[in-house]
């Protein structure tokens, strides 16, 4: 398949990494790629881009705030691709490279890569993100290759994705348990990566000190100002209901007396999805309690609160 890669020049670093990961697919004859880097000096930008796009079967868009802000990428290349998609001539695949408001654009109607639309920049190892992209592109090219035509083939759906369908769902106790468990693992992984990163900074030391069923404790020491802080993160279960669904405290042990306003979260859901909200022992404590949070956003809030205890901030 011939792929047209649409990107903002401010994201050229992501383009280069994607091309590296596409190398084996190109050797296997599954894909060829085209970018505006192929245009030689003196060439007509508009004409060559238009010709390349019109002859492509795949439109790979590297989405970022800069891409969405780019009139040429968004209003020209993407709009042209949308028209081709409606005619069944091309498949549009959004690849999220930086967090951005892509879900409120027409791209929000399409399945995005990497997995769950998690931006490449938010993966601990970006190579894992690109491997997920490559795996999905291999599935896509294999599927379309076995079809006689691109007509009516849409990525991740049997029909054209002209609408964004949302299905109402009842969330059972098992769903809630699974959501809490997967969130806890994501938060713990985030802290693993963050502690390794912080421990490499001069005058800072960090480590996990304890871990048990549904909780972990870690410690940060700042040798520059002799400040130290413990942190315990606890996922709520039947034996810890008084802690909320997830809570944290700046102690080295589980202690109900250490639970504070602003340091408790609970699982909520609307008719379509589950999410986290801030909570105080079962009672909303501010207008921020209605803000829907992902597990990563919860992890970031806890981590930022943690490092400020020893006089550290992210600049």
Half-sphere exposure (Cβ direction) of 178: Cα atoms closer than 13 Å? 6
So what's the pLDDT on residue 308? 94
Query: How is residue 263 written in tokens?
Result: 């340091």
Sequential DSSP letters for 31-57: -EEE-GGGPPTT--HHHHHHHHHHT-S
Across the range 84-113, mean pLDDT stands at 92
Contact 230, 218 (CB under 8 A): yes
Residue 1 banded pLDDT, cuts 50, 70, 90: confident
Task: Please work out, in degrees rounded to the nearest 5, the angle formed at the alpha carbon of residue 35 by the alpha carbons of 29 and 36.
Answer: 150
pLDDT tens profile 185-221? 999 999 988 898 888 889 999 999 999 888 999 999 9
Residues 6+ apart with CB under 8 A from 84: 53, 54, 59, 90
How many helices (H) and strands (E) would you count in the chain?
Answer: 8, 10
> What distance in Å separates the CA atoms of residue 118 and residue 103, rounded to the nearest whole number?
12
Better-predicted residue by pLDDT, 147 or 214: 214
265-269, 278-282, 310-314: range with lowest mean pLDDT: 278-282
Across the range 85-93, mean pLDDT stands at 90
Across the range 130-158, mean pLDDT stands at 66
> What distance in Å separates the CA atoms of residue 160 and residue 85, rounded to the nearest whole number?
8
- Among the listed residues 247, 243, 253, the one whose alpha carbon sits nearest the alpha carbon of residue 219: 253
Residue 257 banded pLDDT, cuts 50, 70, 90: low
So what's the pLDDT on residue 154? 45
Better-predicted residue by pLDDT, 307 or 289: 307
Of the ranges 46-60, 114-128, 162-176, 239-253, which is most confident?
Answer: 114-128
Contact 262, 281 (CB under 8 A): no
Task: Please work out, in degrees rounded to the nearest 5, the angle formed at the alpha carbon of residue 30 by the alpha carbons of 28 and 31.
Answer: 115
pLDDT tens profile 44-75? 456 677 788 888 899 999 999 999 998 888 88
- Among the listed residues 90, 79, 209, the one whose alpha carbon sits nearest the alpha carbon of residue 155: 90
Residues 6+ apart with CB under 8 A from 267: 176, 179, 180, 245, 274, 275, 276
Residue 162 banded pLDDT, cuts 50, 70, 90: very low
């Amino acid at each position: 398949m011939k792929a047209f890669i649409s990107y903002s020049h401010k994201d050229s670093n992501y383009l280069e990494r994607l091309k590296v990961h596409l190398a084996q697919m190109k050797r296997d004859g599954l894909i060829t790629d085209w970018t505006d880097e192929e245009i030689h000096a003196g060439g007509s930008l508009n004409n060559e881009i238009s010709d390349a796009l019109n002859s492509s079967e795949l439109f790979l868009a590297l989405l970022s705030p800069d891409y969405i802000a780019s009139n040429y990428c968004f209003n020209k290349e993407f709009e042209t691709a949308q028209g081709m998609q409606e005619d069944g001539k091309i498949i549009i695949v959004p690849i999220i490279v930086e967090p951005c408001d892509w879900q409120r654009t027409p791209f929000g109607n399409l399945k995005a890569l990497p997995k769950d639309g998690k931006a490449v920049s938010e993966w601990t190892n970006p190579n894992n993100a690109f491997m997920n992209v490559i795996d999905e592109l291999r599935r896509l090219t294999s599927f379309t290759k076995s079809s006689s035509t691109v007509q009516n083939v849409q990525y991740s759906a049997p029909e054209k994705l002209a609408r964004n369908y949302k299905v109402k769902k009842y969330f059972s106790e098992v769903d809630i348990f699974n959501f809490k468990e997967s969130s806890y693992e994501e938060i713990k992984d985030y802290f693993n990566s963050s502690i390794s990163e912080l421990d490499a900074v001069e005058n800072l030391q960090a480590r996990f000190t304890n871990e048990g069923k549904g909780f972990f404790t870690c410690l940060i020491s700042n040798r520059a100002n002799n400040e130290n802080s413990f942190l315990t993160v606890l996922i709520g279960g039947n034996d810890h209901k008084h802690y909320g669904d997830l809570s944290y405290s700046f102690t080295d042990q589980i202690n109900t007396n250490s639970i504070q306003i602003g340091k408790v979260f609970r699982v909520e859901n609307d008719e379509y999805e589950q999410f986290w909200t801030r909570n105080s022992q079962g009672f909303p404590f501010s207008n921020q309690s209605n803000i829907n949070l992902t597990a990563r956003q919860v992890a970031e809030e806890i981590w930022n609160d943690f490092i400020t205890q020893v006089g550290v901030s992210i600049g």
